């Protein structure tokens, strides 16, 4: 942003262009959430919280963390020790007749978000509520 409050895009080849000049052609770049404010010191993500809130993130961050093999949870969940992780496979035991399925060999289970519950069980196929998706209190569980 320049001294007049105008958002400026800096391109790798050294060209500078006011962001307003990019509309609507490059709208997809303007609306991304990975913009960085660049100073002479190190870059900082615009969406990164500061201080006490630094470890808390939004749902998009939580999904990306799950895909990287991290465990995540919400600060405001009531249950103690609850967290989510992404399972890429699992064993299924059932009394149901599955003879209608053509081929029951190999990896047949799609990746699934699993919740470790407060009573130390696993809830397979956890679904986010509206509150979970709109929350900004997600963090990585160590």
The pLDDT of residue 6 is 77
d(CA 53, CA 34) in angstroms, rounded, equals 18
- Residue 57 bridge partners (DSSP): 138
Work out the average pLDDT over 11-36. 68
* pLDDT, tens digit (0-9, with 9 covering 90-100), for 39-87: 555 445 545 555 545 567 899 999 999 999 999 999 989 888 999 999 9
Structural contact between residues 126 and 84, judged by C-beta atoms closer than 8 angstroms:
yes
How far is CA 7 from its chain centroid?
A: 27
Average model confidence (pLDDT) for the chain?
Answer: 79
0.85 surpassed by pTM: no
Contact 59, 84 (CB under 8 A): no
Token digits of residue 79: 């249950």
Residue 108 CB partners (closer than 8 Å, separation 6+)? none
């Amino acid at each position: 942003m320049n001294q007049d409050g105008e958002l400026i895009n800096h391109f790798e080849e050294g060209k500078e262009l006011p962001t307003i000049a990019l509309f609507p052609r490059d709208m997809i770049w303007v609306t991304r959430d990975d913009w960085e404010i660049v100073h002479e010191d190190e870059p900082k993500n615009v969406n990164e919280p500061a201080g006490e809130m630094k470890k808390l993130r939004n749902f998009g961050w939580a999904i990306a963390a799950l895909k990287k093999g991290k465990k995540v949870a919400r600060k405001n969940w009531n249950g103690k020790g609850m967290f989510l992780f992404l399972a890429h496979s699992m064993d299924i035991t059932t009394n149901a007749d599955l003879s209608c399925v053509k081929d029951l060999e190999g990896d047949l289970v799609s990746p699934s978000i699993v919740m470790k519950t407060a009573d130390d069980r696993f809830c397979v196929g956890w679904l986010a509520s509206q509150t979970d998706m709109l929350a900004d209190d997600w963090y990585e569980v160590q």
